[in-house]
Structure 1
Amino acid sequence: MSDNVVKDKHWKKAEHRTKVLSALPEQLGPGDVADAMEALGVSRATVFRLLKRYREDQRTSSMLPRPKGPRSVMQPLEPEIETIVRHHFTRLYATRRKPTVTRFWREIAADCRMEGLPAPSIRRLGRWLEEQDQADLMRRRDGKSKSEPVFLATPGGLTAPNALDIVQIDHTKVDVTVVDPVTRLAVGRPTLTVAIDVNTRMALGFYLSLEPPSLTAVALCLTHAVMDKGAWLAARGIANAWPVRGIPKLIHVDNGAEFHAHAFERACSEYGIELAYRPPGTPRFGGHIERLIGTMMGAVHLLPGSHFSNIYERGDLDSEAEAAMTLRELEVYLALEITGAYHARVHKALDLPPQAVWNMAFNEKEPRLPQDPRQFLIDFLPGEERVLQRDGLHLFHIRYWANELRWLMGRSARKVMIKYDPRDLSMVFVKTEDGIIEARSADLTRPSITLWEHRAARRALREAGRKVVDEDLIFSTILAQRSLVDEAQRTTKAIRRQRNRRSHLPSQKMIDITPEPAAQERLATNRGEGGKPLKLPYYEVEEWDDD
């Protein structure tokens, strides 16, 4: 009540000022100023100040009374906070990584908290950034001038009344190059497969690999989403909680071939999961997963080896040369970003952190879980149907056998379903009415190989003109290829080490060993004093093996 009275009182005063000032002529005379002073009850200086404000704005609200005292201006940061802000401005914000202001503020807030200092607000930090040299900042962040790209908004169109009602899964090429863990040389950009719960916005799980999108990536991502993640986090030294788990009611995906695979559709039906596909060419229908992927890519843009979102942002940065993180290190980084940042921040669409919404959803009930986690993964793996022959099962020109297969001999001539993990072809899973039978390579001396190694070996054989596939030759080819790669790595390392050893040597000789003129003449004619043949000593040089 009192606030309304005050506001009405101020507004009436503003209306009175407007009425008096609007009646004043363009050229003021002494009598005009005196009349205005009397009507408004203010000094001469105040009349001119109010008149200037009114003629610049021409609105009644410009005549509202202003608080007494000096106007509020931005106070300078405390010296200790200014030091932290400057440090992150130089090392993070004003660099080619181009983080957002929010990310810039988080890094500063984390350091302020460690030092026991109050963190500046993000609005205060934005005003601080506006005071910096914008031309220099753009030059340091962009490297060189570039045109401004145009982006299209992709709002989500799905709503889920409860947690795990709708889960979206999608793939993306990660905007960063990873390196080999041994040689630390660049090996390429990995593929991220990630799942999100539409209702709570929780990231349910993900899978990272160097292979293109596949049914295996979907199976491993979905298994990671459904299962408890305690052991997975502990194996990677992550202390953050990731409480999400459970079988979804519906999975919403795009029209990728892996999502239309028979094995995927059958496995979803097996566990009572409905499938829904986006209309072709409409990524906006996957807005929730697209925004999560965008958040994850915004985080990796801070890493060495980042490619950024497009060529405009990357400029002339050599991402391959700056790459430094392995696939496992990137996996841990993404897990920390999800569990320690994304889940704990207030989501704009929820007005709560996703983890808080998830906890409320499953406060008194448990999500639906598979009875056998191993069976769940196997059901979603790719598979092939094969006839059980007398010598076992044949898949990818490799023979598999298990003693339990003897009981299937002669039962039926029907084909059996064989599930396989492309990451390891040393074992396959045979689905029977009584459960799963593990069948291993009939030759136990065979090394574990991947499906991609197997295909590469077959391509090499075809290029060599081999018409008949030979199992022994496939494995010997793979071993030879591995040996070649290992030898190349050792040789490259030895050469780099020799070059580094020689790099400290001066370009000129340290000791002058040039013979005297007379000695030079004797050496040239191979004759000693008196014309006798010159015998030179023979030295054996021992060669050192760097390895």
Structure 2
Amino acid sequence: MINLTVGLHVFANGTRVKILAMLSAGRLRVEEISTGAIFNITPGEVEFELPSPDMAVANQRLHTIDSAGRFSECPESIGSVAVERFQLIAGLLDRGALVKDIIKELKKMPGMSPSLAYRTFNRFSREQGPLCLVDLPRGRKLGSRSISATHEELIDRAINESYRGIAANQAAIIQKVHELCLVAQLKPPASKTIVRRIKARNPKELLSKKQGSKIAKQKYEVRGGKLLTSAPLELVQIDHGLVDCIIVDAESRAPLCRPWVTLAVDVHTRVVLGLNITLCYPSGMSVALCMSHMILPKHRWLKKIGMDGCEYPFYGIPKRIHVDNAKEFRSPILGAGCAIYGIKLTWRPPGTPHNGAHIERLIGTFMGKVHFLPGTTMSSIVQKGDYKPDKHAALTFVEFREWFVREVEIYHKSTHSELECPPLYKWEEAFKLSDGSVSNPLIVADSLKLLLDFMPLTRRVVSRSGIKMNNVEYYSPALKNFNNGTPCVVRYDPLSLRHIWVRPANTDHYIELSYSDMSLPDISIEEMKFLRKKLQERSNKRISQTEVLELKKTNKTLVAAAESKTRRVRAMVERTKLRRDKSHPLHDKAPRDTQAEKPRIDYSLKPVPFKVEE
């Protein structure tokens, strides 16, 4: 509220003015403070009230500006002298007095010498007010430095080199400066001087050197701006969190691992619009399950997990999703899925977790509740202390999921500090119409297609045996309606490769395919990669790669030798043939001497028995 009175200093039409008179209900006579020009304005042109110089003296102590540009308080008596001088000069200028007349009047004031009178007049400024005429204190100015430039350079060098790490302190810098001065054969400056140089540094820079830029930004960085929404589903933030609790095996009750949770928060109402709890590291499948859970009504899901009595009425297609720069969020699959349903996908700038403050705070809220569970790992080793999570872990995955969903329901029905009401109430009020009726978000009819549109994909073609992926063949009789070589989009679950879903070209529906060999076990893609790696290691152990290379080298040598000896080999074969030639001298059956050659027995003939006499 501005009470327009005579003498009030206000800002109007882009300049500072002083109200001189009220001419009428809609006209004011004002004087421009910087130039002294007088003109008329309307009350609507007044933007805001300015502090009056007289009010400043009456209500608060003035400040002086030293040579370093800092403000230091001065006594009220000095401030009143400055105001008296300012009013004298301003009054004389308003009456059109000459400079020599102003100097003459200034000389009449107590303690005013001719030189001081000229300096006072030259320092006069209507914009700064009486502040410009406050006498600066004598002596060395605050912040001035008297040591040599070499000493200053050594101190800066010591701070830059040694003020690093969590153990950095002033004593280490003082010791480093003394060492550098000893090497340079200089007398070291006083310890207080070195400490003042350290304190003169930017505290954000020092904390960044000591504890890292992230902590320094968290403490000192100014973060302007605020995400403003006017209705639910306008903006949703999604992120993952590693749960600070170890779960146990359902059969042996032995400790297993820490589960992962993916949460989606509606910024306007702060409701948990979607969630996914898994034992696997965050992936595109985690995002797909969270997106499906977020968009679809929850009653079927609650019934499947045995919590159909839980109140979870939140669902709908968001207009915009805000995520960080993780690989699964930068995936073109997520972008394509969002485009199908008209969702705008945006990312945080790298290294700025505060831009996702709503989801970060929500995850922190639930992790604070997790810290009361048996088997909690707390947020750090320091907080955990001597507590043994593996020893005290008690909840199975199903039990933890039930506990977590119930905590989400409690959160929805508890008063939110920012909203000053429960998120459930905020959601319900947002969907109430002016006539008292209630509207509802749009429902996606094909829930399976919704999930598949966000699942990981690859591309294959239909072959005679079906679809082959990861060296495994999949088949369904529905593929008979398509020709061999038809291109397809294949959606799959990385955690279970027993089934895949295929959308052939020029169709808008998916076909579910199973293993062609039904005896194959259900397996995840990570398990398949692991087993392939183990098989390769086992085969390399039985037959080393060096042995294979040696065999390849021998074969290569054999081929090269054969190429060079081809003609000689043909000659050898031909000579062998010639040795069997009847014209060869060794094959000549002519008698070698005069005696008749003895008959030879042909053992190839069937023997003839002798005739026995009766």
The alpha-carbon deviation at position 458 of structure 1 amounts to 1.5
Matched, 1:424 2:493: no
Contact 1:157 1:285 in 2 (8 A): no
CA distance in 1, matches of 2:395, 2:527: 24
Contact 1:387–1:393 (Cα < 8 Å) also in 2: yes
1:306 maps onto 2:380 in alignment: no
Q: Per-residue deviation at 1:305? A: 0.8
Cross-structure match for 1:213? 282
| Equivalent in 418, 427, 430 of residue 361 of structure 1 | 430
Match of 2:296 among 227, 252, 273: 227
Does structure 2 conserve the Cα–Cα contact (< 8 Å) formed by 1:343 and 1:354? yes
State the distance in 2 between where 1:279 and 1:439 align: 41
Does the CA contact (< 8 Å) of 1:158 and 1:285 recur in 2? no
**1:455-484 deviation digits (Å, cap 9, x = unpaired):** 2222221221279xxxxxxxxxxxxxxxxx
Amino acid at match of 1:380: F
Task: State the distance in 2 between where 1:204 and 1:336 align.
Answer: 14
Q: Distance in 1 between matches of 2:363 and 2:528?
A: 32
Distance 1:234 1:418 in 2: 30
Question: Equivalent residue for 2:611?
Answer: none
Question: How big is each residue's C-alpha offset from its partner over 1:118-169, in whole Å with a ceiling of 9 and x where there is no partner?
Answer: xxxxxxxxxxxxxxxxxxxxxxxxxxxxxxxx89479894222110011111
Superposed CA deviations along residues 307-346 of structure 1, whole A, max 9, x for unmatched, are 111112111211112111111111111100001x210111
Distance 2:525 2:251 in 1: 22
Q: Which residue of 2 aligns with 1:395?
A: 469
Counterpart AA for 1:394: K
User: What SS does structure 2 have at the residue aligned with 1:329?
Assistant: helix
**1:235 to partner: Cα distance:** 3.3
Distance 1:242 1:404 in 2: 38
Amino acid at match of 1:167: V
Offset from partner CA, 1:468-506 (integer Å, 9 cap, x none): xxxxxxxxxxxxxxxxxxxxxxxxxxxxxxxxxxxxxxx
Contact kept? 1:301, 1:308, Cα under 8 Å: yes
Percent pairwise identity:
38
Q: Does 1:264 align with 2:334?
A: yes
Matched residue SS, 1:291: helix
Match of 2:514 among 437, 440, 444: 440
State how far apart, in whole Å, the 2-side matches of 1:319 and 1:205 are. Answer: 28
For the residue of structure 2 that corresponds to 1:417, the secondary structure is: strand
Residues 272 and 466 of structure 1, relative CA distance in 2, 3 Å threshold: farther
Give the TM-score normalised by structure 1: 0.55
Q: Which residue of 307, 310, 323 corresponds with 2:393?
A: 323
State which of 333, 336, 346 in structure 2 corresponds to 1:276.
346
How far did 1:394 drift?
Answer: 1.1
* 1:406 CA displacement: 2.0
SS in 2 for 1:171: strand
How far the C-alpha of 1:366 sits from its partner, in A, is 1.4
Answer yes or no: is 1:463 the counterpart of 2:522: no
How much has 1:434 moved relative to structure 2? 4.3
CA contact (8 A) 1:305 1:320 kept: yes
Distance in 2 between the 1:361 and 1:431 partners? 39
Farther-moved stretch of structure 1 (171-180 vs 364-373): 364-373
Q: Deviations over 1:67-116 (max 9, x none)?
A: xxxxxxxxxxxxxxxxxxxxxxxxxxxxxxxxxxxxxxxxxxxxxxxxxx
Give the Cα separation in 1 of the matches to 2:279 and 2:296: 23
Partner of 1:380: 454
In structure 1, the residue matched to 2:524 is 450
- Measure how far apart 1:446 and its partner are: 1.9
Between 356-365 and 215-224, report the one with greater CA deviation: 356-365
Q: Is the 8 A contact 1:157 1:287 kept in 2?
A: no
Instruction: Find the aligned partners of 1:184 and 1:301 in 2 and give their Cα distance.
Output: 20
CA distance in 2 between partners of 1:173 and 1:248 (Å): 25
1:351 aligned partner: 420
Q: How far does residue 282 in structure 1 lie from its aligned partner after superposition?
A: 0.4
Deviation of 1:291 after TM superposition, in Å, equals: 0.8
Q: Give the distance between the partners of 1:171 and 1:213, measured in 2 at CA.
A: 7
CA distance in 2, matches of 1:466, 1:230: 53
Q: Measure the CA separation in 2 of the matches of 1:161 and 1:466.
A: 63
When residues 186 and 290 of structure 1 are mapped into structure 2, their CA distance, relative to the original with a 3 A threshold, is same
Shift in alpha-carbon separation, 1:164–1:434, aligned structure 2, 3 A: closer
Choose from 234, 237, 244 the match for 2:314. Answer: 244
- Tell me the CA shift for residue 210 of structure 1: 1.2
Deviation of the 1:414 alpha carbon? 5.8
Which stretch shows the higher mean deviation, 261-270 or 157-166? 157-166
The TM-score with structure 2 as length reference comes to 0.50
The correspondence for 2:363, drawn from 287, 290, 293, is: 293
Q: Is the 8 A contact 1:178 1:190 kept in 2?
A: yes
Match of 2:539, SS state, is coil
Answer yes or no: is the 8 Å Cα contact 1:425–1:448 preserved in 2: yes
- 1:394-426: per-residue Cα shift (whole Å, max 9, x none)? 11221111111122214xx46311001123211
Q: One-letter code of the match for 2:385?
A: G
State the AA in 2 paired with 1:298: G
Give the Cα separation in 2 of the matches to 1:386 and 1:293. 39
Q: Distance in 1 between matches of 2:258 and 2:510?
A: 35
SS in structure 2 of the partner of residue 258 of structure 1: coil
Residue identity in the other structure for 1:314:
K
Q: Give how far 1:233 is off.
A: 2.1
Distance in 1 between residues matched to 2:330 and 2:459, nearest whole Å = 18
Structural RMSD (CA): 2.1
Q: Where does 1:66-145 land on structure 2 (aligned, <5 Å)?
A: none
Contact 1:167 1:196 in 2 (8 A): yes
1:517 equivalent in structure 2 = none
Q: Decide which structure has greater helix share.
A: 1
